[in-house]
C-alpha cells in the first residue's frame, strides 16, 4: 500500500470540537471484521456487546499541560509542545516558529536555550525553570489539544478534566489516549459485573502517534518510538485470558502498539521498552483480538494500524458509513469497535 491510499473524505463540521455531554453517551460503530457487518450503538452498550471472559487493556498515561508560549530575543512568538526529557536539564520540544541554535527563549517564569534541531519541527533545548518541570507545567502550561480542535479562545478549563481519562495515573503523555476518554468508573464496574475485567499498561503518547507520515510506500515508513511499561500482573492476566479462550480487547491504538511491540521479543511481555513497531496492512497480530478506537486522521500511523486489523476496504466502508450517519470524528468524537 501507498500512504496516499489511506485517505477518505470528511466534512469539516464532523470534526468534534467538544466532547459528548457524558463520556458514555458517545456513539459506537461496531465492525465485524470477518463479515464486514456494521451495527450502531452507544459506548454505554459495551457491557452487552462484549463477552464474559473478555479482557480490556487500557492505557493509564496521564496528559501533562505540555503546551507553552515563548518569545525569541527579537520578540517573535514561539509555541512549544514539550515532548519529554532528552537528558538531564534538557527536553525535546515540537516548535511552531523559527528558533535558532544557540538562541535563548523566554518562557513564563523560566528561560531556555535551543541546542539542536532534530527535524520535523522537533528541537532539543536546555530548560531553566528553578523547580520540577512537571510542577512548572502544571502552573503555566496549557492542555495540548490537537490542532484540529479550533476554538478562538483556545483550551477551556473543563478540557483539563475531559481531555484526560478517568483512570489516568502516570504523567508524561502529550496527547490523550482518546479511546479511553469514553470510560467511567461506573462503566468499568458494569463491565466487571458481566465478567469483563480490565488491566492497565502505560504508553506515553508522543510524536510517533500523531505526526503525519511522509509520502510513499507504507513499508518504507518509520515512526518515532514511544516508551511503554507493561506490569507483570497485566501480562499474567492477558496470558490467562488467552488460555481460557477469552478475547484481549485493546482500548486505543496506543495500547495495541505497546502490546504488539512487546510481543515481538517473545512470549514474556511484561517490562519496559520502546514501541517502535509500525503496524500496517499485512501485519500479523500476536496478542490483540479486538480494538476499541476513535476515528482517525487520514494518512496517519493510527489509520494504518486499524486497517491492519480489519482490512482497508472494511475500514473505508465503515468510515463512509460513519460520515453518512453523522458520527463525530477524532479526539473528542465517537468510537468504533472492531471485533
CATH code assigned at 187? 3.40.1780.10
Q: Is residue 45 part of a domain?
A: yes
pLDDT at 210: 66
Query: Is residue 58 domain-shared with residue 72, that is, in the same domain?
Result: no
The total number of structural domains that make up the chain: 2
- The pTM of the full predicted model, rounded to 2 decimals, is 0.94
Query: Is residue 274 domain-shared with residue 183, that is, in the same domain?
Result: yes
Cell 527535524 identifies what position? 119
Query: Is residue 11 domain-shared with residue 89, that is, in the same domain?
Result: no
pLDDT at 303: 93
pLDDT at 225: 85
What is the mean pLDDT for each group of 10 consecutive residues in the chain (339 residues)? 87 96 97 97 98 98 96 95 90 94 96 93 93 94 93 89 97 95 98 98 83 72 87 98 97 97 93 93 96 94 94 96 98 98
In degrees, rounded to 5, the angle at the alpha carbon of residue 28 between the alpha carbons of residues 27 and 33 is 160
Query: Is residue 196 domain-shared with residue 53, that is, in the same domain?
Result: yes
Query: Is residue 136 domain-shared with residue 228, that is, in the same domain?
Result: no
Query: Is residue 56 domain-shared with residue 95, that is, in the same domain?
Result: no
Rounded distance between C-alpha atoms, residue 160 and residue 88, angstroms: 28
Q: Is residue 153 part of a domain?
A: no
Query: Is residue 229 domain-shared with residue 297, that is, in the same domain?
Result: yes
Query: Is residue 104 domain-shared with residue 201, that is, in the same domain?
Result: no
Query: Is residue 83 domain-shared with residue 208, that is, in the same domain?
Result: no
- CATH no. for residue 99? 2.40.10.240
pLDDT at 27: 98
Domain containing residue 105: 67-140
* CA separation, residue 119 to residues 94, 108, 170, 225, 317 (Å): 9, 25, 28, 15, 35
pLDDT at 24: 97
pLDDT at 301: 87
- Please classify residue 303 by burial: count the beta carbons closer than 10 Å to its beta carbon, then call 0-12 exposed, 13-18 middle and 19+ buried: buried
pLDDT at 211: 67
Amino acid at each position: 500500500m501507498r500512504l496516499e491510499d489511506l485517505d477518505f473524505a470528511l466534512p469539516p463540521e464532523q470534526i468534534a470540537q467538544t466532547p459528548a455531554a457524558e463520556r458514555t453517551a458517545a456513539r459506537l460503530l461496531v465492525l465485524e471484521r470477518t463479515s464486514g457487518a456494521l451495527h450502531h450503538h452507544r459506548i454505554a452498550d459495551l457491557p452487552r456487546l462484549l463477552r464474559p471472559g473478555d479482557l480490556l487493556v487500557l492505557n493509564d498515561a496521564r496528559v501533562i499541560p505540555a503546551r507553552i508560549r515563548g518569545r525569541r530575543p527579537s520578540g517573535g512568538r514561539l509555541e512549544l509542545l514539550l515532548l519529554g526529557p532528552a537528558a538531564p536539564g534538557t527536553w525535546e520540544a515540537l516548535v511552531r516558529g523559527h528558533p535558532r541554535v544557540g538562541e535563548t527563549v523566554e518562557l513564563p517564569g523560566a528561560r531556555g536555550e535551543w541546542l539542536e534541531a532534530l527535524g520535523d519541527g522537533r528541537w532539543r533545548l536546555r530548560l531553566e525553570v528553578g523547580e520540577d518541570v512537571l510542577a512548572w507545567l502544571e502552573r503555566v502550561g496549557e492542555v495540548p489539544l490537537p490542532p484540529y480542535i479550533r476554538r478562538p479562545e483556545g483550551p477551556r478549563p473543563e478540557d483539563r478534566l475531559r481531555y484526560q481519562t478517568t483512570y489516568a495515573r502516570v504523567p508524561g503523555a502529550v496527547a490523550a489516549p482518546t479511546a479511553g476518554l469514553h470510560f467511567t468508573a461506573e462503566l468499568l464496574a458494569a463491565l466487571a459485573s458481566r465478567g469483563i475485567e480490565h488491566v492497565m499498561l502505560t504508553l506515553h503518547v508522543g510524536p510517533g502517534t500523531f505526526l503525519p507520515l511522509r509520502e510513499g510506500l507504507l513499508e518504507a515508513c518509520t515512526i518515532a518510538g514511544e516508551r511503554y511499561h507493561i506490569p507483570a500482573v497485566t501480562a499474567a492476566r492477558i496470558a490467562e485470558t488467552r488460555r481460557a479462550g477469552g478475547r484481549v480487547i485493546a482500548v486505543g491504538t496506543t495500547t495495541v502498539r505497546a502490546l504488539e511491540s512487546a510481543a515481538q521479543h517473545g512470549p514474556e511481555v511484561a517490562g519496559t521498552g520502546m514501541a517502535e513497531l509500525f503496524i500496517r496492512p499485512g501485519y500479523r497480530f500476536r496478542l490483540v483480538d479486538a480494538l476499541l478506537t476513535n476515528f482517525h486522521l487520514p494518512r496517519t500511523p493510527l489509520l494504518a494500524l486499524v486497517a491492519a486489523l480489519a482490512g482497508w476496504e472494511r475500514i473505508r466502508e465503515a468510515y463512509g458509513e460513519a460520515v453518512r450517519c453523522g458520527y463525530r470524528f477524532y479526539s473528542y468524537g465517537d468510537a468504533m469497535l472492531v471485533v
